[in-house]
């Protein structure tokens, strides 16, 4: 349809604008760059009817994504269910609860498929033939899969101690998996050096401003699926803090474009106590993020020096939200609660989101009588190690009705 | 070579003249592009320019300082 409304890359600190290029820091103040748009050009043209008439994938909102024309990569990605979670609501003692279920995001079962399809589409536009990333796991799988489907060469860098499902979930696509001895922050540090030296599109380094925009589609879908409404409260897991800031941006954009009414949505962040630099800053009432050494089973969220921590902190404060963190035991308990009440097997990050939400409901930070959306962003089959010893093992019997009768009787089955 | 880094200072190192010491110790040009100090913590965006070995040695020195966290922004080699 109409021309692109992307205006520029803009420094979040000093406001300097740059043309659309594979770059992520301001030359003047080294602040991070963000994609900015001329929303006025869309006034009256980007309607609910237009969006609803399009296929159910994340590109139904393409006007608000920084690509030229049609997506080059990941044409079918996104559009996951918004589940009305009545059984979980009852367990938590709240009135209206929804789960944005990105544990079934196409094609690699995490919300990273949203960011990667924008990053790789942009990389193709820029003429890159090799793409790469520094990853806590999900991103690696998504880059590998989407690159494979688009015929791009890929390198994915991960901490060497990731869950098997994450490593396998990248390697199967024929990518080059590089395991780094160290934590994610060491991987990230190496990647900023590699990105400067090799002419690759690093999705979370030199094309990060475009990559990050992809997360907004989770927010757009959430509002469309709520019947073109913004929720009162939304809880988001945080690693770098990017998703948190982009969910907020998505809501502000829909309000600006008249697609939803301002519902004063409060945005809440969730982290594991073993790696909670952003949550800690919010709880301490400061806006300075102190880097930490991560130690938690929620490996996908284990970023000790979060790039967007400062901005996520600001979003939570300004929207009236808050942040929490929970222990590894609480993460496992929450994973089980979600599975047993809603039939959703989320990864450790999902346990973090639910567990933190539960804590904030109990402390009164999130009221019980207003709409709440929990963002579940990754799939439990990729972090099986976390719950392997926490579930009942199968009871083995012979293929004999007699033996089953004994078992059933012991269970009290009539 | 020019290298861009973010420096993170904790409560103790924040009052230490680390960047002055760096320039004394190594033959590099230091260029502060952004700085903020708040509530016992400092954040500085710093460009370090000089011969490659000098720049690299100065970064290693920074990394060895107590309470200083060094985050490279990206390698940006401009010979000269
Ligand atoms: C499952 C899952 N949820 C949430 C996040 C957090 O993303 P962000 O870095 O945008 O805060 C990640 C990041 O790796 C993730 O893998
Ligand atoms: Zn700037």
Q: Which of these, A32, A372, A31, lies nearest to B35 by C-alpha position?
A: A31
Inter-chain touch B69–A206, beta carbons under 8 Å: no
pTM (2 d.p.): 0.95
Q: Which of these, A375, A323, A413, A391, lies nearest to A101 by C-alpha position?
A: A375
DSSP state of B51: -
Cα dihedral A188/A158/A201/A78 (nearest 10): -110
Tokens read off for A120: 């790789």
Beta bridge partners of A34: A10
Tell me if chain A has a CB within 8 Å of the CB of B8.
yes
Atom of ligand 1 nearest to the CA of A215: 10
Domain ranges (residues) in chain B = 2-72
Task: Compute mean pLDDT per 10 residues along chain B, 80 residues long, and list them.
Answer: 91 90 95 87 93 94 93 60
Residue B33 and residue B47 in contact, taking contact as beta carbons nearer than 8 Å = yes
Q: What is the CATH number of domain A6-75+112-211?
A: 3.40.50.1100
Q: How far is A173 from chain B (nearest CA, A)?
A: 28
Domain ranges (residues) in chain A = 6-75+112-211, 82-108+215-386
Tokens read off for B61: 């020195």
Inter-chain touch B33–A30, beta carbons under 8 Å: yes
d(CA A81, CA A310): 30
Residue A125 host element (H or E) = helix A112-126
Which CATH superfamily hosts domain B2-72?
ACT domain (3.30.70.260)
DSSP E strands, B1-80: 2-9, 29-38, 41-49, 68-76
Inter-chain touch B34–A29, beta carbons under 8 Å: yes
d(CA A335, CA A391): 11
Q: Which residues line ligand 1 (CB under 6 A)?
A: A 110, 136, 138-139, 237-243, 300-301, 347, 349, 377-378
Distance A17 CA to ligand 2 centre (A): 8
Across the interface, of B33, B43, B69, the residue whose CB is closest to A28 is B33
d(CA A292, CA A289): 9
Q: Which of these, A335, A333, A311, A149, lies nearest to A215 by C-alpha position?
A: A311
Atom of ligand 1 nearest to the CA of A115: 10
Residue B43 and residue B8 in contact, taking contact as beta carbons nearer than 8 Å = yes
Question: Whose CA is closest to atom 3 on ligand 1?
Answer: A377
Neighbours of A5 (CB within 10 A): 17
Distance A10 CA to ligand 2 centre (A): 8
CA angle A125, A129, A135 (to 5 degrees): 95
Distance A47 CA to ligand 1 centre (A): 30
Q: How far is A301 from chain B (nearest CA, A)?
A: 19
Instruction: For a ligand 1 pocket test, name from A105, A300, A353, A383 the mutation site with the most ligand atoms within 8 angstroms of its C-beta.
Output: A300
d(CA B60, CA B63): 5
d(CA A14, CA A288): 18
Tokens read off for A47: 């309607």
* Predicted-complex ipTM score: 0.86
- From first to last of its 414 residues, chain A has per-residue pLDDT tens of 557 999 999 999 999 999 999 999 999 999 999 999 999 999 889 999 999 999 999 999 999 999 999 999 999 999 999 999 999 999 999 999 999 999 999 999 999 999 999 999 999 999 999 999 999 999 999 999 999 999 999 999 999 999 999 999 999 999 999 999 999 989 998 998 898 889 999 999 999 999 999 999 999 999 999 999 999 999 999 999 999 999 999 999 999 999 999 999 999 999 999 999 999 999 999 988 999 999 999 999 999 999 999 999 999 999 999 999 999 999 999 999 999 999 999 999 999 999 999 999 999 999 999 999 999 999 999 999 999 999 999 999 999 999 999 999 999 998
Distances (CA, A) of B42 to A169, A225, A277, B21, B72: 39, 43, 15, 16, 16
Inter-chain touch A196–B41, beta carbons under 8 Å: no
CA angle A185, A186, A190 (to 5 degrees): 115
A93 contacts: CB under 8 Å, gap ≥ 6: A361, A368
Report the topology of domain A82-108+215-386: Rossmann fold (3.40.50)
Inter-chain touch A193–B72, beta carbons under 8 Å: yes
């Amino acid at each position: 349809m109409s021309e692109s409304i992307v205006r520029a890359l803009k420094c979040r600190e000093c406001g300097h604008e740059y043309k659309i290029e594979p770059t992520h820091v301001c030359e003047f103040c080294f602040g991070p760059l963000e994609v900015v748009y001329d929303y006025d050009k869309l006034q009256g043209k980007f309607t609910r009817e237009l969006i609803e008439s399009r296929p159910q994938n994340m590109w139904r909102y393409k006007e608000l994504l920084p690509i030229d024309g049609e997506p080059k990569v990941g044409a079918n990605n996104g559009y996951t269910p918004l589940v009305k979670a009545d059984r979980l609501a009852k367990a938590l003692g709240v009135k209206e609860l929804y789960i944005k279920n990105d544990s079934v995001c196409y094609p690699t079962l995490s919300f990273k498929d949203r960011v990667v399809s924008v990053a790789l589409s942009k990389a193709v536009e820029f003429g890159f033939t090799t793409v790469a990333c520094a990853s806590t796991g999900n991103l690696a799988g998504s880059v590998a899969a989407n690159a494979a489907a688009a015929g791009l060469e890929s390198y994915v860098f991960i901490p060497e101690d990731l869950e098997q499902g994450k490593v396998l979930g990248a390697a199967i696509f024929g990518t080059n998996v590089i395991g780094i001895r160290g934590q994610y922050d060491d991987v990230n540090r190496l990647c900023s050096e590699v990105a400067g030296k090799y002419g690759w599109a690093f999705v979370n380094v030199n094309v990060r401003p475009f990559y990050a925009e992809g997360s907004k589609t989770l927010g757009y879908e959430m509002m469309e699926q709520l019947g073109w409404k913004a929720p009162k409260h939304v809880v988001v897991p945080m690693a770098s803090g990017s998703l948190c800031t982009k969910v907020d941006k998505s809501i502000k954009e829909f309000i600006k474009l008249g697609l939803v009414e301002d519902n004063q949505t409060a945005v809440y962040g969730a982290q594991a106590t073993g790696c909670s630099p952003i949550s800690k800053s919010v709880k301490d009432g400061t806006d300075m993020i102190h880097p930490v050494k991560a130690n938690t089973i929620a490996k996908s969220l284990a970023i000790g020096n979060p790039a967007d921590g400062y901005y996520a902190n600001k979003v939570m404060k300004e929207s009236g939200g808050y942040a929490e963190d929970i222990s590894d035991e609480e993460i496992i308990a929450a994973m089980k609660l979600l599975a047993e009440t809603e039939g959703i097997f989320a990864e450790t990050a999902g346990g973090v989101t639910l567990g933190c939400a539960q804590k904030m409901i109990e402390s009164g930070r999130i009221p019980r009588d207003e709409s709440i959306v929990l963002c579940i962003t990754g799939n439990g089959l990729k972090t099986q190690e976390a719950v392997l010893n926490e579930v009942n093992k199968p009871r083995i019997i012979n293929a004999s009705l007699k033996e089953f009768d004994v078992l059933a009787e012991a269970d009290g089955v009539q | 070579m020019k290298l861009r880094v973010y420096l993170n200072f904790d409560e103790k190192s924040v009052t230490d003249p680390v960047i002055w010491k760096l320039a004394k110790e190594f033959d590099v040009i230091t260029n502060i592009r952004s700085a903020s100090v708040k509530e016992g913590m400092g954040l500085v965006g710093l460009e370090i320019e000089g011969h490659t070995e000098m720049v690299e040695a100065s970064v290693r020195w920074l990394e060895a300082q107590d309470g200083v966290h060094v985050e490279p922004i990206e390698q940006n080699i401009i010979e000269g």
